[in-house]
Amino acid sequence: MIRFEAFERLGAAVAAISDRSDGDCGLRTASSVSEAIAARQAVCGSCGVDSDSLVCAQQTHGTATVCVDASQRGRGAREWESGLPDTDGLITRSRGLPLAMFVADCVPVYLLDPETGGGGLVHAGREGTYRGISPLAVEAMQREFGTKPTDLHALIGPSAGPCCYEVSPELAHAFAEAGLPVDGRHLDLWQANAQQLTAAGLSPGRITVSGICTICDGRFHSHRAQPNAGRNMALLML
């Protein structure tokens, strides 16, 4: 597990992501639901988080962002079916409410507004990035919390890097046509999200890219690198 201590110093109680050594945190990818729950409990326990309080989404590679509070505590924590449907972004101002996203090469984007006390966690995969889920989550924070984009901090977590993420010529062309960074057939999802967040009003100096490629780093579950890959749990709690 990696704790993003610099992000935590900005005001998050916990900003972290699990790795392969922590087990498979995906309820639908682990060999059993009990295995995934045990992995979640271990990761959360090491962060001082109650795993039964996790708010999780039924991720669909879409762009829907949902504002959650304590009334959603535990959604999707122990069974996928109770997760928030058709959701790939979660935002909140509730202290002590842990948000979780599950990734295996897709980009976890952490958002924090120290001024309003709001935060968010976004699952920005290839499709979500292409459709602009990160700036849409910023818009949701503006709408729900009155967030000023210039007050926001963003962290682009471990995910498929431009070093390894090769796609079809057609997809690379589509990204290039959309003005997103492409090098030959390699997508740069890190800079694509950073570019979109900057366009949404964030200061480039407040956007941190972890620079860790889940495909070649070896520490993380990776859909590209491993058959039947598990899921890393991205975790944010204010």
Mean pLDDT, the chain, rounded, equals 97
pLDDT of residue 227 exceeding 90, the answer is no
Residue 120: phi and psi, rounded to 5, are: -155, 160
pLDDT at 187 (0 to 100) = 97
Percent over 90 (pLDDT), the chain: 100
pLDDT at 34 (0 to 100) = 98
pLDDT at 102 (0 to 100) = 98
Tell me the per-residue pLDDT of 126-183, one tens digit each, with 9 for 90 and over. Answer: 999 999 999 999 999 999 999 999 999 999 999 999 999 999 999 999 999 999 999 9
Q: What is the DSSP letter of 169?
A: H
pLDDT at 141 (0 to 100) = 98
Q: In this structure, how many other beta carbons lie within 10 angstroms of the beta carbon of residue 203?
A: 14
Tell me the per-residue pLDDT of 32-86, one tens digit each, with 9 for 90 and over. Answer: 999 999 999 999 999 999 999 999 999 999 999 999 999 999 999 999 999 999 9
Whole-prediction pTM: 0.98
pLDDT at 90 (0 to 100) = 98
Q: Where are the alpha helices (DSSP H) in the chain?
A: 5-9, 33-47, 126-130, 133-145, 169-177, 189-199
Average pLDDT over residues 187-197: 98
Average pLDDT over residues 206-227: 97
CA distances for 85 relative to 13, 59, 135, angstroms: 26, 7, 20
